[in-house]
Each structure stands twice: as C-alpha cells, then as structure tokens.
Amino acid sequence: MDRELFKESKQEEINTLEGLGCFHIVYKVQSEGLRLYRARFVDKIKNDGTKRSRLVVAAVRDDQHGLFTAATGLRRLSLRILLAIAVSFKFDLCAGDVTKAFAMSKTPLRRNVYMRAPVEFGLPKGKVLNVIKPLYGMPESPMHSYHTYSNQIIENVGMKATVMDPCLFVGHQAENVQVILGLQVDDTLFVRTAELLRHEEETSEEFPNKGRKSASDSLLMFNGVELSRDDDVIFMRQGEYIRECRKIGAREVLSFKEFRSIRAKLAYASFSTVPTLPVFVAKMAQFTGESFFKNT
C-alpha cells in the first residue's frame, strides 16, 4: 500500500506506544549478544473507512520455553452457554473491545527484547528500541494481557473465574447472578441485567475501549463470529469468515502448510456455525505431508 496513505495512522501508533512506555531508545551496542528483532507496521482500512496501523514484532516463532505464554481464550462451549443464559434469563448481550490490550498490560516482559525500529520512527544510526511491554507479534503478549485484565475483573470488580473456563467470569449481587463475561484477548462479550453495572463501568475506565454495543441494537463481532438478536433469538453467523475460506479454497493449494491452514479455518467454522463441516475436516485430517504431495 502507499506509504503516505497510512502516514498519520502510523504516527498515531508510535505516539500511543511511546505514551504507554512500551520501549526505550538505546544504543545498539546494548543489544550485543542478543537477537535484534525486526518489526513492521500492519496497515488496514476498516469498514467505516478509518485507517489503522499496528506495530508488529517478528517474534511469533520464538522458542517459547520459559516464556509467559499459557494464555487461554474463551472456549466454544462457554460461548454457547453464555448465549443460552442471555436468552433464557432475558439478559442484555453486549460486546466490547479493549484498546491497546497488550500495551496496557501491567506486567513487564520477562526477557530483554531489542528491536530495529521501522523507518517511520526516525531513529538516528546506531539506535534501537529496548521493548519493555508486550507488543503484537510476541508469543507471551496474550498472557500478559489476560493476567492484567483478569486481575482487574477479579480484584476490583468482584467477579470470579469459573472452574470450567478461566476466561469465563461470573459476577453476583446478593445471591443473584448479575453479569457473566467472556474474555478473548482484547474482546469481551457479556450478558447482564438491565441495570447499569457501576463496577463494569469502572473496568471500562481502567482499560480504554472502543465502546459497548448491544446485540439488540447492532451487529456484534466476537472472535470472528457475528452475533445479532431478535427478541428471544440470537443468531450466530460467520459470513465474512466463510467467504475468506472460499477464496482460499478456490485456488490451487501448493503446500502442505497452506493445506493445514485451510483445515484449521474450516475446523473453527465447524465448531462455531457450520455443524456439517466436521465430516470434511475429519477427512482432511487424515492427510499427512507425504500423502498430501502424493495426491497433488
């Protein structure tokens, strides 16, 4: 894409991360003996026309031994339970999106990370970035985000994580359930009583978000699933996700790695919204790297 097109959004990303204290500018000599990571901006034009740039560190393939990586996401069964409760008890179904979830983490990295800054940073020769907080592209970032947000929910809001799913939280008032919240990295989905929950608002202030939306008023997006509501019925769709899968399947698959990627996408769709897919996913799972190339 045209570099000038995203000039402002890239600068906004840089300013935000600097303001959150995500890195220090240091001399390159300080990184001697350590891996010097590369980073790039991932640019996107959203559906509403706004431009977004995200700084991503090329560290996703790191050896994860000893790293803080045991993050979990909301289980699919938990999602269905949450939706069933919303319908059964006529609770409001809402979704939120925490802004800069990784950079907002309150736990520092447990290793020394040095990074070559993209040209947009304008660093002089001989200077690099010493990364202090988790950023996108780092394998431990989701767990840092989960640890920070879940502690806020448990300690300040008074909710408790369920035994069956550490990303499913329940809040009570007296003996009545008032709110149930599902957490998926930087996305939240919750059902609540009609009363406005003061504690939930306090959490929103602690973790800036892009606003709360209700399924009764608008289409919600949660972890790739579209949610909408019509009285006592909640609809789950993955139209955009399925269309992307069809685009991939329409072309010739040249590598086993790409084949496994398609299989994973179809498996996710089969568990979420297309119950007829597991048979095909099971057949695809029988292929190994060797048998794949024999049949292509």
pLDDT in tens, 49-87: 788 899 999 887 666 555 555 656 888 888 888 999 888
pLDDT band for 196, please (50, 70, 90 cuts): very low
- Quickly list DSSP for the chain: --GGGGHHHHHHHHHHHHHTT-EEEEEGGGGTTS-EE-EEEEEEE-TTS-EEEEEEES-TTS--TTSS-------HHHHHHHHHHHHHTT-EEEEEEBTTTTTT-SSPPSS-EEEPPPGGG-PPTTEEEEE-S--BT-TTHHHHHHHHHHHIIIIII--EE-SS-TTEEEEEETTEEEEEEEEETTEEEEEE-SS--HHHHHHHHHS-BS--EETTTS-EEETTEEEEEETTEEEEE-HHHHHHHHHHHTS----HHHHHHHHHHHHHHHHHT-TT-HHHHHHHTT--HHHHHHT-
Q: Could you tell me the pTM of the whole model?
A: 0.75
Clarify whether residues 122 and 16 are in a common domain. Answer: yes
Residue 85 shares a structural domain with residue 163? yes
- Please indicate, yes or no, whether residues 51 and 192 belong to a single structural domain of this protein: no
**Confidence class of residue 173 from pLDDT cuts 50, 70 and 90?**
low
Domain encompassing residue 157: 76-101+141-232
- Indicate if the pLDDT at residue 113 is higher than 70: yes
- Mean pLDDT over each residue of the chain, to the nearest integer: 81
Residues 88 and 154 in one domain: yes
Answer whether residue 240 shows pLDDT above 80: no
**Residue 136 belongs to a domain:** no
Query: What pLDDT score does 17 carry?
Result: 94
Q: Is the residue at 115 inside a domain?
A: yes
Q: Which residue has the higher pLDDT, 281 or 247?
A: 281
